[in-house]
Amino acid sequence: MSVFKKVRNTINLLKSVDMDQLAKINQQIDLSEAMKSLGQLDERQLKGLMKMLKTKRKKGQSDLPPIDGDFYNLDLKLTEEQRKLQMDVRNFMEDEVRPLVNDHWNRAKFPHEIIEKFKKLNITGVPYEGYGCPNLPFLMEGIIAQEIARVDVSISTFFGVHSGLAMGSIYLCGSEEQKQEWLPKMQKLDAIGAFGLTEPNVGSGVAGGLETTCKFDGENWILNGQKKWIGNATFADVIIIWARDEDSNQVKGFLVRKGNPGFKAEKMEDKMALRIVQNALITLTDCKVPENDRLQKADSFKDTAKVLRMTRAGVAWQAVGCARGAYESALKYTRKREQFGRPIASYQLIQNHLVEMVSNLTAMQTLVFRLSEMQDADLLTDEHASLAKVFCSMRTRDVVSRAREVLGGNGILLEHDVARFVADAEAIYSYEGTKEINSLIVGRAITGYSAFVS
């Protein structure tokens, strides 16, 4: 562009600018910084900004509060670095996952392309020390679980199975050699993990009734049996398999590698919840596993329980994320949806539902925040984790139900996200210990009596 043309364009631009208005804006923000930031936006972002600026607000909308499920501002308890990580995860989920999640959920497909993008966040194995892991507080693992589930519970489950259950089993129960072999590449998401405990006939009774067996033949361990509902198992590089030793009757853990002879994983179809999660029915038929792939520090179900205790807090956080996503989606909808000439958010019955939702959500958030503080202080017990799982999974059910209620007929459409949260809440309610089992764990702790059937 010639100098003359630049000068002419500048003169025309100055003629169109309200200098008084520009002066007022300059008193509130640094215009030079604003111009610099605008210059860094791409075409899509600029168009989005202009669309927002051109949107005409209706009467009474100019001072609407932001849509934020953190009603008690718990984020203020985070450090600046922790808050930045939280927002990095949130922005990633909004930009990379939300645009594709409904389509993949509807087709029961996993978006494998996001794994490469996930690597840049460096959030795998958050609370572990060494092996390339961030070694951050358990609180941040919970915050991350919430942020991922706030957009999609399936992706949060994928992440929890890999980073929590699979990596956690190796971290707590593996030998140093096993940790060195697996944890660094799992932390980088260069190898994906799965966790095989639940069976077709054994769910809540895994502590004493595993049907999958293992037997040492002098050279290898021979595994036989089936596992069901195993997330990530159709594409995982390593699957943690828990089996009952035929000789000692104790539970042992094994690292079963992808492609191991005698190992078969079949994708489970026709689920109504967590449709993106690739759950599998695993069949082990004389599956040979060498001794050096047996988890060397897993000698009984007590060791398995250590892993479950560590990860159960994350499931409670996941329930919070599901509830938060449903609440924020519902609130957004009620502000836009009009009936009888005004937004339905202005009606008493709708506001009652929204207040019940944010009340439940806030109670859940404060509970899990304290739970993670206890975990970081090494005060966490089974009953603490179980109470959180019981309460949060029940309250999440209530929140998503009310979210679906305020959306009316549109509540069953995927385009508004709430329908997905309603379905996925049912999975959270059942896995990582049912309401009944976790209630009995808490009941035993507060009464001193065990009500479990022996």
Domain ranges within the chain, ordered by starting residue: 74-188, 193-301, 302-447
Residue 269 has pLDDT above 90, yes or no: yes
Q: How far is CA 271 from CA 197, 363, 397, 421, 430, in A?
A: 19, 30, 18, 14, 14
* pLDDT score of 172: 96
Three-point CA angle 34, 40, 43, nearest 5°: 110
Cβ atoms 186, 236 nearer than 8 A: no
Task: Return the minimum-mean-pLDDT range out of 172-186, 351-365, 422-436.
Answer: 422-436
- Write down the residue that tokens 């210990």 correspond to: 433
pTM of the model: 0.84
- Mean pLDDT calculated for residue range 96-121: 95
pLDDT, tens digit, for every residue of 219-240?
A: 899 999 999 999 999 999 999 9
Residue of 211, 228, 226 whose CA lies nearest to 268? 228
* pLDDT score of 329: 97
| Cα(266)–Cα(379) distance, integer angstroms | 40
Residue 207 has pLDDT above 80, yes or no: no
Exposed / middle / buried, residue 119 (Cβ in 10 Å: 0-12, 13-18, 19+): middle
**What one-character-per-residue DSSP string does 392-444 give?**
HHHHHHHHHHHHHHHTGGGGG-GGGSHHHHHHHHHHHHHSSS-HHHHHHHHHH
Q: In the structure encoding, which two tokens stand for residue 253, read together?
A: 């853990």
How many CB atoms lie under 10 A from the CB of residue 163? 26
- Mean pLDDT calculated for residue range 145-155: 97
Q: Which CATH class is domain 193-301?
A: mainly beta
Cβ atoms 306, 299 nearer than 8 A: no
Residue 447 has pLDDT above 90, yes or no: yes
How many CB atoms lie under 10 A from the CB of residue 174? 24
Q: How confident is the model at residue 385 (pLDDT cuts 50, 70, 90)?
A: very high
| Cα(288)–Cα(369) distance, integer angstroms | 43
Q: Which CATH class is domain 302-447?
A: mainly alpha
* pLDDT score of 191: 97
Q: Which residue stretches of 55-92 are H helix?
A: 80-92
Q: What is the mean pLDDT of the chain?
A: 90
| Cα(320)–Cα(389) distance, integer angstroms | 10
* pLDDT score of 312: 84
Residue of 370, 372, 390 whose CA lies nearest to 432? 390
| Cα(324)–Cα(400) distance, integer angstroms | 9
- Mean pLDDT calculated for residue range 168-184: 97
* pLDDT score of 38: 72
Task: Return the minimum-mean-pLDDT range out of 4-18, 173-187, 259-273.
Answer: 4-18
Q: What CATH number labels 74-188?
A: 1.10.540.10
* pLDDT score of 194: 97
| Cα(279)–Cα(102) distance, integer angstroms | 18
Cα-flanking dihedrals φ and ψ of residue 252, to 5°?
-125, 155
* pLDDT score of 8: 65
* pLDDT score of 12: 62
pLDDT, tens digit, for every residue of 11-57?
A: 665 566 676 676 666 666 776 777 777 777 777 667 666 765 655 55
| Cα(135)–Cα(243) distance, integer angstroms | 30
